[in-house]
Structure 1
Amino acid sequence: MARQHGQDSRGPSQRQLRVGETVRKELSDILTRGRFSDPDLDGVIVTIPEVRMTPDLRLATCLVMPLGGVNAENVEKALNRSAKYLRGQVSRRLTMKYMPDLRFVLDTRFDDDDRIGTLLHSPEVSRDLDADEEDGDPAKD
């Protein structure tokens, strides 16, 4: 049987995860130590929780969030403007056949978690859950 290439439902490969974590570590080190001429990045602490690599390792999508979420859109735009410089800095630290292009995207996972938590604790959802418990949900039997 022939091997299938490309992304499937199993998720990223071990190699994608390893390279993504290496790029994340180097980027976070550069951002904490680096001085930028861009005023939107000067003095801003940026966290990089995850770097997602494409299967061919040519593109790295970096999920970023400034500390406290202050001026997040401006920081994202500034990082994308500085992507070539950051790519050059990372390429000096890593030994790879091809250095991936960097794309910066805001990490909204925490906001999504808060929004879902608020929805689950809303009175409408609580009322529906209480009604299911009173009726004796047959799916639980």
Structure 2
Amino acid sequence: QNLGSSLITITSVRVSPDLKIAKIYISIFEKDKRDEVLERIKFKTKFIRSELASRLTIKFVPELKFFLDDTLDYVEKIEVLIKKIHENDDKKGNE
């Protein structure tokens, strides 16, 4: 399965204290394809882990768990709310 031309960014990686699990947070630009792309990435987890093992000189590669990072969506919602507040303040000031 190909990931296509989706713009994917790793936004954060959190590794457990025992280094056995890595939680990888990703941002996918195309909102309508996020779930599909995340499932494809999860499907390729074994391949990604084996690639890491072949490229890194570490004792073992942690189990990889992928999650969508919705921080940018949250920021966008807050910006829209702030903009609406300013617009309402401007309307009240003009009355």
**What TM-score results when the alignment is normalised by the length of structure 1?**
0.54
Gaps of 5+ in 1: 1-37, 131-141
Q: Match for residue 73 of structure 2?
A: 111
Q: Distance in 2 between matches of 1:69 and 1:55?
A: 33
Which secondary structure does the structure 2 equivalent of 1:121 belong to?
Answer: helix
Contact 2:10 2:25 in 1 (8 A): yes
Q: Which has the higher strand share?
A: 2
61-70 or 88-97: which moved more? 61-70
Gaps of 5+ in 2: none
Which structure 2 residues correspond to residues 1-141 of structure 1 after superposition, within 5 A?
38-39=1-2, 41-123=3-85
Identity %: 27
Contact 2:21 2:64 in 1 (8 A): yes
Rg larger for: 1
**What TM-score results when the alignment is normalised by the length of structure 2?**
0.77
Q: Across the two proteins, how many residue pairs are aligned to each other? A: 89
Counterpart AA for 1:100: P
Alpha carbons of structure 1 residues 97 and 116: separation in structure 2 relative to 1, 3 Å? same
Deviation of the 1:45 alpha carbon: 3.5
